[in-house]
Amino acid sequence: MKTIQAYRFALDLNPGQERAVLAHAGAARVAHNWALARVKAVMDQRAAERTYGVPDALLTESISWTLAGLRKAWNAIKPDVAPWWAEVSKEAFNTGLDALARGLKNWANSRTGKRKGRPVGFPRFKSRRRTTPSVRFTTGTIRVEPDRKHVVLPRLGRLKLHESARKLARRLDNDTARIMSATVRRDGGRWHVSFTVEVERAERTPARPDSVVGVDVGIKHLAVLSTGELVDNPRHLVAAQARLRALGRALSRKTGPDRRTGRRASKRWGRASARLGRAHARVANLRRDGLHKLTTRLAREHGTIVVEDLNVTGMLANRRLARHIADAGFAEIRRQLDYKAIWNGGRLIVADRWYPSSKTCSGCGAAKAKLALSEREYHCEACGLIMDRDRNAAANLAGLAAEFDTAGSGPVAARGADHKTRVHGQVAVKREPGTTPVGQTGTVPPQGRTTNHALTRAH
């Protein structure tokens, strides 16, 4: 099974190499800002000409928004705009132009309705101080050295890794992986290199192929499994809150930048800002590590995993719980289970977000019209079942697998999966023509399908 996978490693750069990487990132920013200014100027000129009644045939010639069109325009003008262009790799300029081409395409598709989801805004200019330095290489010499502690990138040369790249090197030596691109980026005060790799993965089978597990995520417990296991929520952000506040107060006492007066930040402000950034990066790394371990264990052990389609964006509107919800990483759990289930030969079933897993009795199937968030135990008035509400929800999610198997690859009408929870009887599933049935929003991908969106981290 072929899939696209990412391997991310920390770098140990010397001062000269760091200056070279920053020069490449700056070149990408210059190309992006120049092309964006050119696009905006042409758009404004054409809009002004239309107000004067100029016919479309006589309007100023528009500039192509594709990567090839932007690159052609940049190559024609780069000796005047960037006379130092030969000092950096051509991939640096290609990085900035490609980001702009993607942004313009997403904006245009969002306006015309071709792109689903939240509206996408028009691309903005990149700031030297606020933009994360990044450069992507797609051509040239990109390889891992035989010692597995160094990598070679175009124009940057031989860079030392902070950790061993043996996991990627083994696949490259066995001809089961092919490096497609490499991205150098600074996160939390440390430079990383990410390799986008086409990997030939061996077919795997979960340890318990017939096992079905329902996963109910929450704040008190990160995950409650239908097997009865409770996964504690480490709450990394809460644990680091005192240190983050202290670092934030220390930063506020330093002389920072001021765009209105043109004042530059002091060196002490820069060091304090770096300390705060490293503290935030540590929280993010701890959260990422815990989520990867949990999802990997579930995907390798169980053949069928059932989760909910949660409206995380809407849940974050609750100002009392937004910080804890964001710290838990509900959406990241589902994203990782999506591709890890395929990698391990299992399947992931996603229940509709309107399915009342917490309001439905896992014993008799009776559903309550209302269930307050403060009620931590589920009391069924029909059969007298008393159970923790999260375990009850996980059991209901696991029960959806049987309905999915009965329906085969078709739609599954989950009990009460409607916008409004009904107390008696089954609820008819309503849907518009051409849309996914309400009862089963996620279609289980066939094993062996190539997934181009799967990203993982090397541990």
Catalytic residues: 216, 308, 390
d(CA 293, CA 305): 16
Helical H segments across 345-438, by residue range? 389-407
Assigned token pair, 367: 């559903």
Is residue 188 a contact partner of residue 284, using CB atoms and an 8 Å limit? yes
DSSP 8-state code for residue 201: P
3-class state of residue 99 by DSSP: helix
Assigned token pair, 350: 């996603």
Please name the helix (run of DSSP H) or strand (run of DSSP E) that holds residue 340, with its range, or none: helix 330-343
Residue 151 identity: V
End-to-end CA separation in angstroms for the chain: 22
Token match 């890794």: residue? 161
Is residue 365 a contact partner of residue 378, using CB atoms and an 8 Å limit? no
Assigned token pair, 428: 């008819």
Evaluated on CA atoms 38, 42, 47, 48, the torsion sign reads: positive
* Beta-carbon-side half-sphere exposure of residue 260 (alpha carbons within 13 Å): 0
The alpha carbon of 186 is separated from its chain's Cα centroid by a whole number of angstroms, namely 17
DSSP 8-state code for residue 259: T
DSSP-derived secondary structure for 291-330: HHHHHHHHHHHEEEEEEE---HHHHTT-TTTHHHHHHHTH
Assigned token pair, 31: 């190309």
Measured N-to-C along each axis, helices 90-112 and 15-51 cross at an angle, to the nearest 10 degrees, of 40
What is the side-by-side order of every strand in the sheet holding 157-161? Answer: 134-137, 177-187, 190-200, 2-12, 157-161, 150-153, 143-144
